């Protein structure tokens, strides 16, 4: 059961927060392939990805005490750390191999958790609904940015748009998303 796994991961994180290296090793064993997949997809550099995975887990080790099981699922909390680290690396280190994210099928509305697996089913549902309210390309830009770590430049290449236009459309899309999620007019 997914919820059992979630409970166990939360328990391992709690033990990790107390400095239990056995629990941390088990946490690594269970989650590293997922986080490595996330990092690899964003960084596209296997050589870099190993180092990023290492740094990600050291950050998880250091911050495990901040994990709040009421606010996030363990795996998404950890994935967010991995994603942040990977985006830092690709953004702040110039020479990224800029392979376009061709494997993404933009029509899928990919990457939204099945509702029952999200931190809060209502959150996942409402985010999905709000994303679906965006224009197709705007939605794809948001998803490609978040899930694949594409920069404005890379989004511009992919959508054949000037960078400034990408920025304008991203901001418009995010503002609309905020309005939708927060229940206010954008």
Partner 1 sequence: MANPPERDGWDDGDAAEYVLGTLDATERRAAARLAATDARFAEAVRAWEARLDALTEGLTETEPVAPPSVVWPAIAARLPGGALRGGAAEGAEVVELRRRLRYWRGTTGLAASLAALLAVAVIVPKDRWAPEGLFPQPGPATLRQAEAPPAQTGPQGTYVAVLQPGGAAPAFVAEVDLAAGTLSLRPIRPEPAPEGRVYEMWVVGGGRDAPVSLGLLADGGELPLDALAGPTDGSVLAVSVEPPGGSPTGLPTGDVVFTGELIRAD
Handedness of CA 5, 6, 11, 12 (dihedral sign): positive
Of the pair 134, 177, the CB lying nearest partner 1 is at: 177
- Site for partner 1 contains 159 (CB under 8 A): no
How many Cα atoms occupy the beta-carbon half-sphere of 171 within 13 Å?
6
When binding is defined by CB under 8 A, the residue of 1, 94, 97, 160 that contacts partner 1 is 94
When binding is defined by CB under 8 A, the residue of 69, 112, 137, 165 that contacts partner 1 is 112
- Site for partner 1 contains 155 (CB under 8 A): yes
- Site for partner 1 contains 22 (CB under 8 A): yes
Of the pair 62, 136, the CB lying nearest partner 1 is at: 62
87 in Cβ contact with 42 (< 8 Å)? yes
In 3D space, the residue among 155, 160, 166 whose CA is nearest the CA of residue 100 turns out to be: 155
Cα-trace Rg, the chain: 18
- Site for partner 1 contains 161 (CB under 8 A): no
Distance of alpha carbon 53 from alpha carbon 51, whole angstroms: 5
x/- site string to partner 1, residues 42 to 81, per CB under 8 A?
-------xx--xx--xx--x---------xxx-xxx-xx-
When binding is defined by CB under 8 A, the residue of 5, 11, 14, 32 that contacts partner 1 is 32
- Site for partner 1 contains 113 (CB under 8 A): yes
39 in Cβ contact with 85 (< 8 Å)? yes
């Amino acid at each position: 059961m997914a919820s059992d796994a979630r409970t166990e991961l939360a328990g391992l994180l709690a033990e990790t927060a107390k400095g239990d290296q056995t629990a941390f090793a088990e946490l690594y064993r269970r989650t590293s392939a997922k986080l490595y997949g996330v990092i690899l997809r964003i960084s596209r550099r296997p050589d870099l990805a190993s180092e990023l995975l290492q740094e990600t887990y050291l950050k998880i080790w250091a911050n495990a005490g901040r994990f709040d099981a009421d606010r996030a699922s363990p795996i998404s909390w950890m994935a967010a750390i991995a994603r942040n680290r990977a985006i830092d690396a690709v953004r702040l280190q110039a020479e990224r191999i800029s392979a376009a994210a061709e494997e993404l099928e933009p029509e899928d509305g990919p990457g939204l958790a099945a509702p029952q697996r999200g931190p809060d089913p209502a959150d996942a549902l409402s985010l999905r609904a709000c994303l679906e309210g965006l224009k197709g390309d705007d939605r794809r830009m948001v998803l490609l940015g978040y899930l694949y770590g594409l920069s404005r430049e890379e989004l511009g290449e992919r959508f054949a748009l000037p960078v400034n236009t990408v920025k304008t459309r991203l901001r418009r899309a995010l503002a609309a998303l905020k309005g939708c999620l927060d229940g206010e007019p954008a």
